[in-house]
Amino acid sequence: MIDTVLFDFDGTIMDTNEVIIQSWQETFRTLKGREEDRDVLLKTFGEPLEYTMRNFFPDVPLEKGLEIYRGYQRDNFLSDIHLFPGVRELLDELTQRQIKMGLVTSRLRHTTQQALDKFDMNRYFGYVVTADDVTRHKPDPQSINIILEKIGSRPEQSIMVGDTIFDILCARNAGCTSVLVSWSMSLAEKLQNGFAPEETPDRIIDDPRQILQML
C-alpha cells in the first residue's frame, strides 16, 4: 500500500522550463556569442548543473559559467515560473488523505525555497532534499534514501514522480515506484517513440491527480 509520494521539482510540479532554457542561452551568448539549439538544452534537463556546465564549456572556469547562469536566474527566476495545472489540487487531496510527501530535487536549496515560499508550498513539503544535501546526484538513490529515512517511509510503499530519465532511474535504484509526467519536455521524443527497457517508468500520467488512482 502506497503511503508516501515524492516529487521532483523542476518540470514536474513547477514549470521552470523556460527560465532554465533562457539561463543556458544567456550563458551561451556570453561565452560563445551564440545561442544553443533548444533540443540540445532539453536533453540535459535533470543533470547536475556543474556536470552540464563542464560538458558545454570545458575550457571555461566552472565558477565563471555558473555565475552567468545563476545571475540570470537570480534576476528572472520568480517571475518566470508557475505551478503546473492540477498540482495544487493533488497536493491538497494528498494532505487530506494524510499521505506523506517529500521533495527530491537537483536544484540548490536557496532557489527551491524561494519558489516554495512564493507559491505557499511549505505546508505540503516538510521534507525537502536538494543538491546541497547530497554528495551523489540522481540517478544515484542517495537523495531518495535520505528523504525516506527522514520521513520514516519504506521504498516499496513510495512513489517517485519526475520528468527525466534521472528521476526514473533514481526511483528504480531506490526501490520505489517510478512515475513519469507526460508534460516532460526533456523526454518528449521518448514519450512519442518509446523507452528503452531499462528506462521505462512504471507509470506515465497525463494529469497530476492520476496519482490518486495509485494509492
CATH for 44: 1.10.150
Q: Do 85 and 158 belong together in one domain? A: yes
101 shares a domain with 180: yes
Asked whether 57 and 65 are in contact (CB, 8 A), the reply is yes
From 8, 10, 15, 167, active-site residue: 8
Q: What is the mean pLDDT of residues 70-74?
A: 93
Number of structural domains the chain divides into: 2
Tell me whether residue 15 is one of the annotated catalytic residues: no
Nearest to 167 by CA among 157, 179, 182, 154: 179
Interval 107-120: pLDDT, tens = 999 999 999 999 99
Pair 163, 95 in one domain:
yes
Segment 4-23, tens digit of pLDDT: 999 999 999 999 999 999 99
Given 25, 44, 76, which residue is the final one in a domain?
Answer: 76
Residues 104 and 69 in one domain: no
Domain that holds residue 113: 4-15+81-214
Q: What is the pLDDT of residue 19?
A: 94
Confidence of residue 46 (pLDDT cuts 50, 70, 90): confident
Q: Which residue do the cell numbers 572556469 mark?
A: 61
pLDDT at 48: 86
pLDDT in tens, 158-204: 999 999 999 999 999 999 999 999 999 889 889 989 999 989 999 99
